[in-house]
Amino acid sequence: MTEPLERECEVFARYLSGSPPSDYVLAQYRAAHAAGVVDPPGGATRFDEFVVRQARRGAWLARALDAHARVFANGSLLRRKLVLLLALLEVRSPHAEALDTPTGASRALMLLTMAWLGVRFAFSVALVAVLLIPARVALGGGGAK
């Protein structure tokens, strides 16, 4: 059975880059967690951990919850995990090249895509904000666990 951290790294890497992490990236992801570098200052809340558990379910959920966190909880556990993984992916080939190569979109397509990303982002933020209300009430939105 896949351990939660490995599953999480796999899902988040697919969300960020479209491909799974290498063994090296997974090992570094584990090492960083063991060293405690992803813990938010003051510690993660129960709500933070709930959000991460949901994000582990798949890349689509990770994206939606990331959008919500970008607006309402930028320094949360989920954002810190994702930024850590992005930092690990960008320093190791082949992800490093993939993350830094233009998509080849024409100027018009680029503008259209950016508009679509903006709409999707706004929709995700709004939808997740509503869907998380019960969890936020049940678990308490703030304060360390």
Give least dist CB 52 to another protein, A. 14
Residue among 57, 81, 59, 58 nearest 69 (CA): 81
In the complex with another protein, which residue's Cβ is closer, 58 or 113? 113
In the complex with another protein, which residue's Cβ is closer, 56 or 80? 80
**HSE toward the beta carbon, residue 60, CA cutoff 13 A:** 0
Which residue ranges make up the site for another protein (CB under 8 A)? 15-16, 24, 28, 32, 35, 37-38, 63-64, 66-67, 70, 74-75, 79-80, 82-84, 86-88, 90-93, 96-97, 99-105, 107, 110, 113-114, 117-118, 120-121, 124
Give least dist CB 118 to another protein, A. 7
Q: Is 67 exposed, middle or buried (0-12, 13-18, 19+ CB in 10 A)?
A: buried
Reading the block at residue 106, the tokens are 């024409």
In the complex with another protein, which residue's Cβ is closer, 102 or 134? 102
Give least dist CB 9 to another protein, A. 13
Give least dist CB 129 to another protein, A. 14
Give least dist CB 108 to another protein, A. 11
In the complex with another protein, which residue's Cβ is closer, 2 or 93? 93
Cβ atoms of 113 and 105 closer than 8 Å: yes
Distance, in Å, from the CA atom of 87 to the CA atom of 82, rounded to the nearest integer, reads: 9
What one-letter code names the amino acid at 114? M
In the complex with another protein, which residue's Cβ is closer, 127 or 138? 127
Residue among 69, 40, 59, 84 nearest 132 (CA): 69
